[in-house]
Structure 1
Amino acid sequence: MMYKLFPGLKQLVHYNKHNLTGDITSGMTVAVLLIPQSMAYAIIAGVPVSLGLFAATFPLIVYALVGGSKYLSVGPVSIVSLLAFSGITGIVQADSSRFIELMIILTLLVGAIQLVLGFVKVGSFFDYVSYSVINGFISAAAIIIALNQVKSIMGVSLPSYENLISYGREIMNHLPEANIYTVAIALGSIFLLLGIKKMSPAIPGAFIVIIASVMSVDYFDLNEKGVAIVGSIPQSLPTLSFHIPTLDLILVLFPIAFMISFISFVESYAVAKQLANKDNDRLDPNQELRGLGLANVTSSFVGSIPVAGAISRTAVNHQSGAKTNFSLLVTALFMLLAILYLTPLFYYLPKATLAAIIIIAVLKLINFKQLISYFKTKISDAMIFLTTFIATLMIDIFLGLIIGISLSIVITLMKREKQ
């Protein structure tokens, strides 16, 4: 019974020491990637970077014990962070004193919804969700995330994203106000990231760029010339807390929480299932829902943001030689050490560099190759992709997903009537 509830624990209890080298190597590799990503995605969510580090550590430990995947790197991800930010800013301003409180409650609701769905065993139904909707939505969301980083690259203030045309107009209007030092750091970071990636994908480019930019800002005192920096990061563990939401607040946040629960699970389960199939392992979608749900509840308890399984980090974990879920615990341990001992090193980290890391990371989520494939093989899927993509970019990030899902259901029902 214990192993049924905690399948990850079974892997650890019956651990084979021959897997140790691969698990430690891959765990450390993912940690080097996760440190800059967790800070960058915290910025997308509109919270202090320390909360991103917390979300990358404690939820991962819980998932390693409860989840079934040996490789799934649970923590902050770009799409979920954007959804959370968009949802909360629809209720209060990002600089409001209640923003972080609502973010923590939202994270709790996301976890609770996933736990309920997992226990009532509806996870199997996610196998029937059209990936043309998800691909169209994620492609549009990636563009929105990249555009939202332009203000950090330019060193200016911009209003919240509403649609592609109005935001593009705002960017053009604020171009003369751009800080030359900030732009130089951003462009230098982007070119360095691309150069390192072209030279060898195995080199931790983000970490190298962070070190180079921190040293540049510190040496040339660029923070005194208008370059925004991360500043002080608390060098301590989070305090556990539990926020009890009112019924009114639950009703307001529930649609946002359900959307995030859906997207985060589909993204996580898709990559976990793909790798499980390669190893001929069976992955229970309901157990994955419960594992992800408990990870989000944990993230709420430490006062942080919603989490999910990251496609890129999970792939790196697998490719780096991970054999069991012990690799996840190794990653969490190194994240813990970073929180306790490395945070002072990031004081002079320019926000423009984090923006560059975000842009490079999300560009690969724009899946136009899949759209071309749909046009060649299945026109209906191409229409669903395009509709979801355009509606998300031009109307609203939440409405875009709903429109895409609705169109997918209509097309499916029409096909069944013809049969």
Structure 2
Amino acid sequence: MKRYFPILSWLPAYKKAYLSGDIFAGITVGVMLIPQGMAYAMIAGLPPVFGLYAALVPQVIYALTGTSRQLAIGPVAMDSLLIASGLGALSISGIDEYISMAIFLSLFIGTIQLAMGFLKMGFLVNFLSKPVINGFTSAAALIIGISQLKHLLGIEITSNKTLHILQQTFLQLDQINPLAVIVGLSGIALMLIIKRLNSQIPTAIVVVILGIALAYFTPIADYGLQLVGKIPDGLPAFKIPEVPWSNLGDLFTIALAMALIAFMEVISIGKALDEKVNANTIIPNQELIALGTSNIMGSLFQSYPTTAGFSRTAVNFQAGAKTGVAAFMSAALVALTLLFLTPLFYYLPNAILASIIMLAITSLIDFKYPQELYKYQKDEFVLLMATFFITLLVGIQEGIILGVLFSLLLMVYRTSKPHMAVLGQIKGTTYFKNITRFAPDIIDRKDILVLRFDAQLFFGNKDYFYKQLKRHKIAKGPDLKVIIINAEAINYIDSSATYIIKHLILELKDQEIQLMIAGATGPTRDILFKTGVVDLLGRENLFVRVVEAVEYIDGKHSRTEIENRISHQNY
């Protein structure tokens, strides 16, 4: 039970000293979560109250089942944008059906995550490389910001496509509501000022209170300033989500993408916390189970998909949270808000929520990392930029899917043409190093060619290996008698590469050139013996180190019994 409910491990060992920190952190995150939840629901195209529903049950369930004690689960900007993008592409008749689909998406995503957790598929998140994540996140942040222009400018925009939004905004410049702009920009400015003065003050709730007071005590709503309006009070009712069978296939792609992205966010934030406290509590597969269970149970209480929030988790940690008790406190504050305080949010200007979102997305855009890639790894910079522009201009799903595909293609390209070095013995030593790096200190041998292939040998690079070896052989000239392959970096040889090696051995024998292999690891030696390569090569041509092979050629070294045992050892 403790494996699936980590609370059974930490709750019995709970210390009284933790309580004050947990209570303070829970209240702080709860205060922060209320305006954020409503703002993120707007990004998702949902009524603001659904952001509060998403802030309730999922974080309680995660506190029971998650392996991190400080992660703050709830609605986030990224998932909200993915929902708007995915559901916006479907033919949905009205707001009720849209809400129903968003809630079902939580159930669908949770089911995928739960299944992946039980099947121990947490490794899949490794396929989301940092350049892809960075490009996708930065583009998504811009899309989120662009999607809020209608609230910040007080205009009507019907599309959810980035280019269409910008086009419609440009065509309606003469219809901008100056009051909405002033309120929105004032909200941003005020939050920046408060944060500069005291970073511990919950800036979002301050501007929400001031925004509500402004709309309540002044007639600004009479001048076209849009308000949140009536928010249903009371806790969300238990309801099993309806399954939209006709759209199930269309929803699968977005559900799978969101399941992986949400998991990636949880793991990256959780591991960052572990590093700060010098711990190792995050268990990826259990995190999938916890996140999946949170989304499934949340969907039964009208929650849309949730995951860990970067900013809320940081606040939770800094405020002193030690255990999941902080999450219980945060959920309790949200519940009290739903029960008693929702009428107050009637007067909240949409421009204020837009300002909260606009400021929040700035932390998602990273300029430093692309600059580093441009300086040192331009191929990955191209990958990042490709993901960024595809996400920004084509679509959210297309961006993440094509980004992952491009990163895999880049990996395949690199492994198809790995580094191959010509080695030479450094004068006065037994070291064999790259001749291009140590040219002045290398002993020039016309009769020996030493090559190091820095990758596994498989069907994708066998022809490259063969062509490069032939090229270096020709460059050596007619005095070449022995080719030594330094196999230290070759950790696997597949059947296609085995065939090439056998062909190479026979070809070199016809040319009266001897082939030797040095430094092969145990698994590689096993393959050489099992596939019959050694029978063709000759056991006497296997060596532990390159220097032993060279000394053997020069007649300066007779192999000892232990050297034979090591070089010939195999299963």
Please classify the TM superposition score into its range, dividing by the shorter chain length.
over 0.9
1:224 shift after superposition: 2.1
Matching of residues 258-337 of structure 1 within 5 Å = 258-279=256-277, 280-337=279-336
Report the secondary structure of 1:46's partner residue. coil
Partner residue in 1 for 2:378: 379
Q: Residues 14, 92 of structure 1: CA spacing in aligned structure 2 closer, same or farther, 3 A cutoff?
A: farther
Structure 1 CA distance, aligned partners of 2:46 and 2:360? 19
Residues 146-165 of structure 1 mapped to structure 2, 5 A cutoff: 146-164=145-163
AA aligned opposite 2:411: T
Instruction: Tell me the CA shift for residue 144 of structure 1.
Output: 0.4
1:195 aligns with 2:193: yes
- 1:211 positional shift: 0.8
Residue equivalent to 1:104: 103
Output one character per residue of 1:180-221: Cα deviation in whole Å (capped at 9) or x when no partner: 222221111111111112222211111111111111111112
Task: Report the Cα distance in structure 2 between the residues aligned to 1:48 and 1:97, rounded to whole angstroms.
Answer: 10
Q: Deviation at 1:282?
A: 2.8
Cα displacement (A) at 1:62: 0.2
**Aligned-pair Cα RMSD in Å:** 1.5
Give the deviation of 1:71 after TM superposition.
0.8
Cα deviation per residue 1:101-144 (whole Å; 9 max; x = unaligned)? Answer: 11111111010000000000011332353121111101000000
> Given the superposition, is the C-alpha separation of residues 94 and 412 from structure 1 closer, same or farther in structure 2, using an over 3 Å criterion?
farther
- Aligned match of 1:216: 214
Q: Judging by fraction of residues, say which structure has more strand.
A: 2
* SS of corresponding position for 2:212: helix
Once the 2 structures are TM-superposed, how far is the Cα of residue 222 of structure 1 from its aligned partner?
1.6
One-letter amino acid of the structure 2 residue matched with residue 267 of structure 1: E
Partner Cα separation in structure 2 for residue 290 and residue 307 of structure 1? 14
| Offset of residue 369 of structure 1 | 1.4
- The Cα shift of 1:404 comes to 0.8
Q: Structure 1 residues 37 and 272 mapped into 2: Cα distance closer, same or farther (>3 Å)?
A: same
Cα separation, partners in 2 of 1:222 and 1:246, compared to 1, 3 Å: closer
Amino acid corresponding to residue 273 of structure 1 in structure 2: K
d(CA) in 1 for partners of 2:168, 2:269: 37
1:252 aligns with 2:259: no
Give the conservation status (yes or no) of the 8 Å contact 1:92–1:99: no
Identity %: 39
Give the corresponding residue for 2:33. Answer: 34
Deviations 1:15-68 (A, max 9, x none): 111111111111111111111100100111111111110100110000000111
Structure 1, unpaired ranges of 5+: none
Under a length normalisation based on structure 1, what TM-score does the superposition of the two structures give?
A: 0.96
Which protein is richer in helix relative to its size?
A: 1
Match of 1:63 in 2: 62
Aligned positions, number: 417
For residues 337-366 of structure 1, what are the alpha-carbon distances to aligned partners after superposition, in whole Å with 9 as ceiling and x for unaligned? 111122122110001100000000011101
Deviations 1:304-330 (A, max 9, x none): 211010011111111111111211111
Say which is worse superposed, 72-81 or 316-325, in terms of deviation.
316-325
Aligned twin of 1:358: 357
Q: How big is the shift at 1:244?
A: 4.3
Determine whether 1:395 maps to 2:394: yes
Rounded to whole Å, the distance in 1 between the matches of 2:401 and 2:311 is 26
Q: Distance in 2 between matches of 1:252 and 1:203?
A: 43
In the other structure, the counterpart of 2:11 is 12
**Equivalent in the alignment of 2:137:** 138
| Alignment of 1:233 onto 2:203 | no
**Bigger relative CO (Cα 8 Å, ≥ 6 apart):** 1
Letter in 1 for 2:98: F
Residue 168 of structure 1, CA deviation? 2.3
User: Could you list the per-position Cα deviations for residues 155-183 of structure 1 after superposition, in whole angstroms to 9, with x for gaps in the alignment?
Assistant: 1111323244x432321211110122222
CA gap of 1:271–1:144, structure 2 versus 1, over 3 A, is same
Specify every segment of 5 or more residues in structure 2 that has no aligned partner in the other structure, as ranges: 419-571
Q: Distance in 1 between matches of 2:126 and 2:21?
A: 31
In structure 2, the partner of 1:347 is 346
CA distance in 2, matches of 1:331, 1:373: 39
Report the Cα offset of residue 94 of structure 1: 8.0
SS where residue 364 of structure 2 aligns? coil
Distance 1:24 1:222, change over 3 A: same
Question: Normalising to structure 2: TM-score of the pair?
Answer: 0.71
Cα shift at 1:92: 3.0
More displaced, 348-357 or 316-325?
Answer: 316-325
Quick one: distance in 2 between partners of 1:94 and 1:297? 25
Q: CA deviation at 1:100?
A: 0.8
* Matches of 1:234 and 1:10, distance apart in 2: 38
Task: Find the aligned partners of 1:21 and 1:378 in 2 and give their Cα distance.
Answer: 47
CA contact (8 A) 2:44 2:83 kept: yes
Q: Which moved more, 1:257-266 or 1:191-200?
A: 191-200
In structure 1, distance between residues paired with 2:238 and 2:63: 20
In 1, Cα distance between the equivalents of 2:391 and 2:244? Answer: 30
> In 2, are the aligned partners of 1:11 and 1:325 still within 8 Å (CA)?
no
Of residues 11-20 and 386-395 in structure 1, the stretch that sits farther from structure 2 once superposed is 11-20
Q: Residues of 2 paired with 1:181 and 1:256: CA distance?
A: 37
Does 1:179 pair with 2:177?
A: yes
Residue identity opposite 2:192 in structure 1? L
* Partner Cα distance (2:180, 2:94) in 1: 23
Structure with bigger gyration radius: 2
Displacement of 1:246: 5.0
Asked if the contact 2:239–2:301 (Cα under 8 Å) also holds between the matched residues in 1, the reply is: yes
For 1:94 and 1:361, the matched residues in 2 are separated by 32
Contact conserved, 1:45 with 1:81, CA < 8 A, in 2?
A: yes
Work out whether residues 46 and 94 of structure 1, in 8 Å CA contact, stay in contact via their aligned partners in 2: no
